[in-house]
Structure 1
Amino acid sequence: MSPNDTIVTTGFRDDAAKLAALRRTKLIATGALCLCVAVFATAKIYQPVYPWLGFVAAFAEAATIGGLADWYAVVALFKRPLGLPIPHTAIIPANQNRIADNLGRFIEVNFLAPGPVREKLNEVDFASLVADWLSNPQRAEALSRFVARLVPQTLAAIDRSGLRNFVAERMVAELDKVRVAPLAAEFLSAFTEDRRHQKLFDQFTRIIGRFLSDEEALATMREKIRKELPSLFNLFRADAYLLKKIVASSASLLEEVRNDPDHPMRHEFDRFVHNFIDDLRTSKAYARRAEAMKRDFLARPELKALAGDVWESLRNLIEQDAAAPDSKIRAHLAGMFVEVGRNLASDKAIRADMNQGFVVALSSFVESQKSGVSGFIAEQVKRWDLGQLTRLMEMNIGRDLQYIRFNGMLIGGMAGLALYVGELLLLAN
């Protein structure tokens, strides 16, 4: 048996129990009324023989009248007593539409008002419920599988919607707003803090040193010197001498610079770098050149093609991993969900903010939909079959209404007895 079948069966059992209880109460009330009639008749018959039965007769007579009056009142709520077309009877069926509208407005005003809704929502710790749910590894794993199944559809929807091109265009537009020269100046300023740019200078000197020790480079330099010298000097191989002196002097200078952190060449390099940074910050010419280079770079088709290739590669990687049995995406998602749940459970401030957000969102939703809810309730009540409406209300409140008949008989009997005693006292005087 499905859960829905169980609920329906339980509902039928509850309705049957309510109907049985209503019938029993009706039967007892009717029996009590008949008993009052019988007692009244018997007391009246034997009253001449036993005068004290006048008290009994007075009680029974008034109880009968009270019981009949209350029986009429109870029956008139749901149907016409004895089927007679008496005005202002069958009150509930005759006023079905008005009852439906009033019920809808009553629920809207009293149950869906902002104050009661917020008060009730504040009683619920939504954040703790979310934290408990996410902290369960099995639930987190199931949620990660659900999210992973949505990945291909999400990526395909991004492609179809043009969102990828829109994002790319917005990124290019935002990059175009960035002033390159001041940004480069700030970057270089950060790089030159604590003279870190001197490491670049050291690397440069090493590159020059390796160049001077390269045989092919030296041969090229020697050939260049030979062409520049007069022929007479070449007879004495002056080119080799000059090259040797140049290489030796350069190597000595580079070694001296590398070993001396306070060398004048280093200070000259410092001035060059700082002047260049200042020019980047203030020079309009540098700014124009930087902006032109930036626009040329952003307009190149290779950049768009590269962005497309990166997106396709990323998409394929994500889809393949999401579909794999040992998906790293699912594993990371599951771990992230569990971690989020645990952090949420331990952070009261975040839970309070989250609960407040739930209250605001849900109360706003209820406020925007409460008119529709009241209208829906009213329409449903109006569509109910009159017989179904009567049975439903009688089944749920009819048993309590039957006790009015008991009370009517009791109160009526006591009133009749009091009047009878008053009559005897007046006649005795």
Structure 2
Amino acid sequence: MRRAATGLLVLMAALFFIARHFAGVHPAWGYVLAFSEAAMVGGLADWFAVTALFRHPLGLPIPHTAIIPENKDRIADTMAAFLRDNFLIPPVVARRLRHMNLAAAAGAWLADPAKGGSTRLRDGAAELAAQVLESLDPERLGTQVRGGLFRQLDKLEVSPLLGQMLATIIADKRHMPVIESLVRWAGLTLEENEELIRALIHSRANAVLRWTGLDERLANSVLDGLYKLLAEVIVNPDHPLRGKVEEGLAKLAQDLQHDADLRERIEQMKRELIANPAVSVWWQGVWERMRTAMLARLRRADGESSGQLAEALTELGRHLRDDPALQLQINRFARRTLVGISVRYGDQIVRLVSETVKRWDAATVTERIEGAVGRDLQFIRINGTLVGGLVGVAIHVVDQLL
């Protein structure tokens, strides 16, 4: 298509010289001369405009040329600001989570013996339960297990424990499935908000992009790039973006252990959860069957506790699945936690997008975008040549009439 557009321009130049040579033979040659002359001007102007989007015409550093490579970083910052201002703000996150029953979904998963009793989940739950039980004073439990347990939990600051658990999970690479789920969720969110992203790019595009109609192609290229990035993160365990997410999780683990404000919020959520009557009823029934044997078996390698723990997890799943009051409390806890994370770490999350785009090589980005919209760019040149010629004929007609 580039050769076709250039060939048409050369054809107009040849036609111009022919018409100029025969201009005095017949008045019709004047119209041909006007058409070819204006067509060359239109073709050259559109060649300059199209070239200026991606590089400096003829290698000359003319101002306001090489628009896309020169503004790559600004495009990255605009995308990051858009994600921060439209996705990772508390009202949006809360509204999204308000329609998701996380507790019921987790309960249904745990209630299924084939899933809730999986080896990975049993091992993780066993380690957590062992740490909690070992932190309690067994003498204070006695026959009043529930009251003693809740008093101990009220004294136990769970935020540092959660931070240590998260650090251990990261060290053991158990967080990778969670990252993959978040990436898939990001892909679905991006798909549902494509029109909003397109509208933002259209509003931020300069006059040249809008005039040439390339803002739509640029929006498609940006969205395709984001989808490709998310796909690469899923299939490539060593993707740099995963490393950034791991850095954010490591910082969260650090803050859970050392940030006073975050620890206080976690403590408040813990107190609300303990005060829920449904939790007390559930725990009192489960604890009587688990307490005496769990400490002795949790850390044993022969797996004798697997069946009992799987049964307890299944019972917990049934409570989560069938108890609306418990679901309300846990969903509220999850919603507040995730909203807090979006507020506290939203800038770090969107910075991943900005830094990733900024790391892209300008020549590579330019080549990919130009390749995606290249045919239409050359049609712009062809149309400019033909439209310019028609305008030249129209001007010549007006000149003859006047």
Structure 1 residue 154: Cα displacement: 3.2
Contact 2:122 2:310 in 1 (8 A): yes
Larger mean Cα displacement after TM superposition, 51-60 or 165-174 = 165-174
1:30 maps onto 2:6 in alignment: yes
Q: Distance in 1 between matches of 2:17 and 2:331?
A: 70
Residues 112, 314 of structure 2: 8 Å contact kept: no
Preserved CA contact (<8 Å) 2:20 2:33: yes
**Residues 156, 412 of structure 1: alpha-carbon distance in 2 compared, 3 angstrom cutoff:** same
- Asked if 1:386 is matched to 2:347, the reply is no
**Conserved 8 A contact 2:105-2:321:** no
Give CA-to-partner distance per residue, 1:57-88, whole Å, 9 cap, x none: 32332222122112112212222212223333
| 2:313 equivalent in structure 1 | 333
Give the Å deviation of 1:407. 3.8
**1:76 aligned onto 2:52:** yes
Match of 1:139 among 115, 121, 137: 115
The SS at the match of 1:87 is coil
> CA 1:110–1:140 in structure 2 vs 1: closer, same or farther (change >3 Å)?
closer
Matched residues in 2 for 1:313 and 1:124: separation?
A: 36
Cα 1:76–1:134 change in 2 (3 A) is same
Q: Which residue of 1 aligns with 2:123?
A: 149
Q: Equivalent pairs: percent with the same residue?
A: 34
Whether the 8 Å contact between 2:111 and 2:316 is mirrored in structure 1 is no
User: Which residue of 2 is the match for residue 93 of structure 1?
Assistant: 69
Partner of 2:214: none
Aligned-partner SS, 2:63 = coil
Rounded to whole Å, the distance in 1 between the matches of 2:64 and 2:335 is 46
Change (3 A) 1:401 1:173: closer
Q: Deviations over 1:367-423 (max 9, x none)?
A: 333322333333333333332232243334455444432342343233222211111
Rg comparison, structure with higher value: 1
2:136 equivalent in structure 1: 164
SS in 1 for 2:136: helix
1:152-172 deviation per Cα after TM superposition (whole angstroms, max 9, x unaligned): 53355347xx62249949949
CA distance, structure 1, for counterparts of residue 150 and residue 94 of structure 2: 44
The aligned residue for residue 418 of structure 1 is 394
Corresponding residue to 1:343 among 322, 325, 345: 322
Q: Evaluate the alpha carbon distance shift between residue 109 and residue 84 of structure 1 in structure 2; reply closer, same or farther with a 3 A threshold.
A: same
Question: For the residues of structure 2 that align with 1:423 and 1:29, how far apart are their CA atoms?
Answer: 29
Task: Map 1:18-417 onto structure 2 (within 5 A).
Answer: 25-114=1-90, 130=106, 133-134=109-110, 136-142=112-118, 145-154=119-128, 156-158=130-132, 163-165=135-137, 168=140, 171=148, 314-317=294-297, 323-324=303-304, 327-334=307-314, 336-337=316-317, 339=318, 343=322, 361-417=337-393
Q: Is the 8 A contact 2:46 2:380 kept in 1?
A: yes
- Tell me, in whole angstroms, the C-alpha distance in 1 between the residues paired with 2:341 and 2:78: 23
CA shift for structure 1 position 319: 5.2
TM-score after normalising by structure 2: 0.50
Shift of 1:425: 0.9
Q: State the distance in 2 between where 1:70 and 1:357 align.
A: 58
Q: Is the 8 A contact 1:37 1:64 kept in 2?
A: yes
The answer (yes or no) to whether the contact 1:149–1:322 under 8 Å persists in 2 is no
1:26 is displaced (CA, Å) by 2.9
C-alpha distance 410-121 of structure 1, shift in aligned 2 (>3 A): farther
Structure 1 unaligned segments of length 5 or more: list them.
1-24, 176-309
Q: Distance in 1 between matches of 2:385 and 2:49?
A: 13
What displacement does 1:323 show? 0.8
Letter of the 1:369 counterpart? Y
Cα shift at 1:149: 1.8
- Evaluate the alpha carbon distance shift between residue 412 and residue 174 of structure 1 in structure 2; reply closer, same or farther with a 3 A threshold: closer
Shift of 1:151: 4.9
Q: Whole-Å Cα distance in 1 between the matches of residues 19 and 83 of structure 2?
A: 52
Q: Distance in 1 between matches of 2:85 and 2:125?
A: 44
Q: Are residues 98 and 139 of structure 1, via their aligned partners in 2, closer, same or farther at CA, if it must alter by over 3 Å?
A: same
Q: Distance in 1 between matches of 2:6 and 2:340?
A: 52
Q: Identify unmatched segments of 5+ residues in structure 2.
A: 142-146, 153-289
Compared with structure 1, are the counterparts of its residues 91 and 158 closer, same or farther at alpha carbon in structure 2 (3 Å cutoff)?
A: same
1:327 aligned counterpart, secondary structure: helix
Whether the 8 Å contact between 1:92 and 1:390 is mirrored in structure 2 is yes
Number of paired residues?
260
